[in-house]
Structure 1
Amino acid sequence: MLGLLRSLWSFRAYVASSILADFKTRFVRSRLGFAWVVLNPLAQVSIYAFILSGLMASRIPGIDNTFGYAIYLLSGLLAWNLFSEIVDRLMKVFIANANVIKKVRFPRIVLPVIAVGTALINNAALLVVMCVLFALFGHPITPAILLVVPAALLVSAFAACIGMILGVLNVFIRDIEQVVPILLQVVFWFTPIIYPVNIIPERFHSLLELSPMFHIVDSYHRLVVYAQPLQWSSVLYIVVLVLILLPLAMFLFRRASAEMVDVL
C-alpha cells in the first residue's frame, strides 16, 4: 500500500494534467462546455419534479417550501450521481485505457485515481449550482452543508472500492459492463431518492436499510435538507464496508495487474 501511495505521489502532476485533459476532451467541441456537467442532472431533476411533484410534495416531511420536492430530490441525486459516476468510470477504466496500459509503463493505480478525481470535480460543480438553486428557492443553507465534503469523500471511497473490483472483473468477464447498469437501476429505485422513505410500509424499512446507498442518501438528506447531524451508525456502516472492500479491491488489482495486459 505504501508503494502505491508513493507511486501516486510521484505521478501527481500526471494525475492533475489527465483530469484537466479529460474535461478538455469532453467539452472542447461543445458550445456549452462545462455546463453539461450540471445540466444533465438538473434536467433529470426537472423531469422527475414535473411528473411527480404534485404527488410527492405533500409527502416530504419537514419541508415547508413550494419547491420542497425539488430540494429533496436534488440532495439525493447529489449523492447518487457521485456514487454511480465513480462506479461506472472505474468499471470501464482499464478497458478504456487499454492502449496506454499496453504501451506505457506507469503505475496503473493512477487511472482509477484520475477517474475518481474527475467525478469529484463534477459533483462539486453540481453542489455549487445546487446551493444557488436553494438560495433562489428560499431554502436556508446552513453550516451543516459543509459536512457534505467529508461525506462525499466517504462516498467516493466506497464507490471506488466497488468500481475497482468491477473494473478488474470487467477485463476478464465483459458481461459485467452490461449487467451493472441494470443492477444500479434496481438499487436506485430501492433507495429513497425520488420518494421519501415514509411512503414505504414500515415493515420493509429494515430491508431498505441493508443497502449502503440508503444510509448514504439519508445522510445527504439530513445535512442538506434538514440541517440535522449525521447518524453515526450510518457513517460507521459505510466505513466498515470500505475497510472490508478496500483490501479485496487492492488484492484483485495487484493479483490481476500483470494478466490484464495480456487480456487487453
Structure 2
Amino acid sequence: MGTRVLGGDGPLSSLVKHRKLILTLCRRDILTRYQGSLLGLLWAVVTPLMMLVVYTFVFSVVFNAKWGGVENRYEFALILFSGLLAFNIFSDVVTRAPSLIVAYASYVTKVVFPVQILPLVITLSAMFNFCVGCLVWLAGYCVLIGVPSVHLLWLPVLLLPYLLFVTGVAWFVSSIGVFIRDLGQLVGVVVTALLFMTPIFYPLSAIPPIYHKYMYLNPITFIVESLRAVMISGRMPDMGGMAIFTGFALLVYVAGFLWFQRTRKGFNDVL
C-alpha cells in the first residue's frame, strides 16, 4: 500500500492550510514532553535555569572568562543566557529531526496526513521553550539591571527568518533520517561542535578579526549577535545583514520543503 499523505501544498500554504492541526500537534508535543513528571511544564523554566547556572559557573568561575570588560557575573549570565536561548531553538529542532518521521510512522503509512507539517510542529514547540526562557531572562534583567531597551521589540523581526531557516534545515534532516537511521548520531556531534563554534560563551571580539568572516559562515552567529544587540546592548540589528540572512533563510526554507516533498515518496518503502 502506498503512502497516503496530503500533497499539493506549498511551503507557506502548508502552514496556513493546516494551522489548526499544527497548533494541536504542537500543544500535544509540549504536554507529552513533560507528562508524568513531578514539575510538569515547570521544567521548561527549570531546565534553562539549571544549564545557565552550570555554564555560568564553569566559564566565569572555573575558567575565569571575561566578556568585553563585563565584571559582574550576573550580567555575564544574562549575556550567556541570551545566546543560549537563540542556539537552543536550532539545537532542539535539529536533534529531534532525524527520528521525527520514524516516530510518526503510523501517520505516514496508515492515514491521510500532511506529513510535511511535522518539522513545523517541532519548530513551534522549540519556540515555546524559547518564549519561556525569554520571560526568565526578562525577569532577571529587570531585577539585576533595569528596564530593557525599546529595541527589544525587534526580537520578533529577528526570530521570523530564523524560524524559517530552522524549519528548512529540519525538512532536510528529517527526510534524510528516514533513510539513514544513524544520522542522529552525526547530527548530535555537529550540533555540539556548532555550540562552541558560535560566539555564545565568548564575544566575537575575542576572535582575531581575520577569522570573523569564517565565523559568519555559521548562520547562527548572525542571529546570536543580533539578539544580543537588541537584548543586551540596546541597539538596532544590522539591517543589511538582516536582509541577507532573511534571503538566505527563505532559500533554505523553500529548498528544504521541496527536498522533503521529493523524498517523502519513498518513506513508505523503508518505514
**TM-score for both structures, normalised by structure 1:** 0.91
CA pair 66-173 structure 1, distance change in 2 beyond 3 A = closer
After TM superposition, the structure 1 = structure 2 runs for residues 142-153 of structure 1, keeping only pairs within 5 Å, are: 142-153=149-160
Counterpart of 1:3 (choices 9, 14, 22) is 9
Tell me, yes or no, if the aligned pair for 1:86 and 1:156 is still in contact at 8 Å. Answer: no
- Distance (whole Å) between structure 1 residues aligned to residue 65 and residue 27 of structure 2: 43
Contact 1:191 1:214 in 2 (8 A): yes
Q: Verify: 1:115 aligned to 2:141, yes or no.
A: no
Contact 1:8–1:107, Cα closer than 8 Å, also in 2: no
2:98 pairs with 1:78: no
Cα displacement (A) at 1:217: 0.6
Q: How far does residue 112 in structure 1 lie from its aligned partner after superposition?
A: 1.7
Q: Distance in 2 between matches of 1:2 and 1:226?
A: 45
Structure-to-structure mapping, 1:1-264, within 5 angstroms: 3-4=9-10, 5-6=12-13, 8-54=15-61, 59-61=66-68, 63=70, 65-264=72-271
Letter in 2 for 1:255: R
Which stretch has the larger CA shift, 236-245 or 179-188? 236-245
1:55–1:140 CA distance, 2 compared to 1 (3 A): farther
For structure 2, which runs of at least 5 residues remain unmatched after alignment? 1-6
Q: Where do 5+ consecutive residues of structure 1 fail to align?
A: none
Letter in 2 for 1:171: V
Q: Do the aligned residues in 2 keep the contact of 1:92 with 1:177 (CA within 8 Å)?
A: yes
The answer (yes or no) to whether the contact 1:59–1:199 under 8 Å persists in 2 is no
- Post-superposition offset of 1:180: 1.0
Letter in 1 for 2:9: G
User: TM-score, normalising length from structure 2?
Assistant: 0.89
Following superposition, the deviation at residue 191 of structure 1 comes to 1.0
- Contact 1:27–1:34 under 8 Å retained in 2: yes
Q: Do 1:84 and 1:159's aligned partners in 2 also have CA atoms closer than 8 Å?
A: no
The answer as to whether partners of 2:177 and 2:183 remain within 8 angstroms in 1 is yes
More off after superposition, 8-17 vs 124-133: 8-17
TM-superposed CA distance for 1:120, in Å, is: 1.2
The whole-number CA distance in structure 1 between the counterparts of 2:156 and 2:174 is 26
Aligned CA-pair RMSD:
2.2
- Indicate the residue corresponding to 2:3 in structure 1: none
| Number of residue pairs matched by the alignment | 264
Which amino acid in the other structure matches residue 181 of structure 1?
G
Q: Does the CA contact (< 8 Å) of 1:73 and 1:193 recur in 2?
A: yes
The answer to whether the Cα contact below 8 Å between 1:56 and 1:69 also exists between their aligned partners in 2 is: no
For residues 128-180 of structure 1, give each alpha carbon's deviation from its aligned partner in whole angstroms, at most 9, with x where no partner exists: 11101111212431221121122122211111111111111111122321101
